[in-house]
Structure 1
Amino acid sequence: MKQDLWSVYCRFSKKERQGIIILLVLTITCAAMPALWEYHTPPAIFLEQDSLFRADVRALRDVYLGNAVASRNMDSGRSKVERFHFDPNMLDTTGWMALGVSRQTAMTIQRYRMKGGRFRRKEDLLRIYGLPPALGKELLPYVSIPAGFKERDTTGLRQLKQRNISYVRRRFPALDINTADSAQWESLPGIGPVLAARIVRFREKLGGFYAIGQVGETFGLPDTTFNKIQPYLIMNKVSLKKLDINQTDEKSLAQHPYIRYKLARLIVLYRSNHGPFRRLEDLLGIPLVDDSIYRKIELYIKIENSPL
């Protein structure tokens, strides 16, 4: 008996062997990837990436040190730039640079405007990141924002929010999980032809549903989709197809989603060594069957003409 149980546990089906081979191939591939990457990636690429990184660091340093550098340039008089009146909402990058603003800061201003930012007051210029305070104060007298400029008009948006707009939510008909066909399943939100066919096929292999939650066990059905369709699922009548564990062969038992191959082998092996099952609870004598597994399969099995 112990030898038979050992052979059952160490014996794998064709699908299980294929899965083990695929897992081994993936493991070897993942382990070899670093060496393959280093072999096929020339060192020049890493040197180029390093040089780009250093350039970015220098650019960032220039932004942080821009305040001190600009102040020294203005104090020493070495930087003579043109001064003219300008609208900060219309000035391009070249114009900002003509005013003495660094290229990096000018590009920062342009990105700020592209994202919808606007200068509404002169003092907003002092809030620009990377603009030296001394330079900002020097440019304030030249800032000219048109008097007609107003903040974005949000009146229309407020009025739209205040309207009492009623949305008609689509309603779906209630669906009996034990009698609905594929077309009816497809009428539910998030269920296409593939999922509908899987649900029907899963129900047929089980022998019918005895609880709505079993629909969520369908292979490939996301939890979010099941939660979406669950309010429309009903169960009017339960009529389960049951397997006689004393008469059903190993292949037929293995096709049931809750039994599968290993348990089917052990059931047949138990019958061979102990004779026919007398009660359904005798399944608990099989090492693979615990209380949770027994509770799942007890409604799908039966014993006819139980031996005394």
Structure 2
Amino acid sequence: MKQTLWKAYNSFSRKERQGILFLLLLTGTCMAVPSLWERFLPVQAEVYTADSTLSAEVAAFRSALLNSGKVFPGDAGSDVHRRRFTFDPNTIDATEWETLGLEKKVISNIQRYIARGGRFRRKEDLQKIYGLPPGLCDELMPFVRIGGQPPGAFRRYMGYRQDTAHGRYGQYVRHGQEEGPYRKAYNNRIPVLDINTADSSLWESLPGIGPVLAARIVKFRDKLGGFYAISQVGETYGLADSTFNKIQPSLRLHKVSLKKIDLNQMDEKSLAQHPYIRHKLARLIVLYRSNHGPFRQAEDLLGIPLVDDSIYRKIEHYIKTENSPL
């Protein structure tokens, strides 16, 4: 065995043997250095003085903040910031928000939202506050109490006034009547509106519908040329199915008056602006007119490969031809 190893060792050149010995020596040195370092150069206690110095600096900094009136959430002196009381987020002022533990920047966001006509309709709306820590939000949720007043837009639409004659501050009744269908509608929290005539402020009176969604619904309706079915409201971009199911009992369709487009007169760009047609189908409609001549009736649209029965049933309410009735 020894002869075999020696023979294998001698099979290397002189430089290769020197390289092998150098690598073995370097490996042994690397393995021995940590043990020798710990034995001859022990860690001095002064190494940890940095931690003590850092702790002292942190303590001094916190003390300076306390003296300036700023309080850490976990400090003993922050009891005022951890006070909990029942509150209405629509009515409390900046001082009360600060008492609940909110930062000034977050309070400013809330006040700006309310100043622009925004309103907290449910306690879950507290989660939408930009900058509010989720943990603090969860702490405050059990203490939220939304006041029993109808939204401002709904009050203006229904003609409500504050009822002070019977000592019911915060209660609203419609002008000229103490009770009636409008008051009952509010008490049941179901404001009813016509989907073809309601403006964005009325849409905002529905639960889960904010200014952005309200504007989208009105814009979608205008682009369509009016709604012919309540289910079309649910097609609005960004409107969740759960929200639509919640507001659907409040929606009514009293009168249908749709704006129709002429397949033979509209150019490609104008056709493409309709939500049910868009660019690809608009291009095919113009191409069909070029190859087959004007549409004789709306059903000729089925001759375009892209149009199946389900698509046609949506579009037929909004199209006409020169020879078809209005």
Give the alignment's TM-score, normalised by structure 1.
0.44
Give the alignment's TM-score, normalised by structure 2.
0.42
Give the number of the structure with larger relative contact order, counting CA–CA contacts within 8 Å between residues 6 or more apart.
1
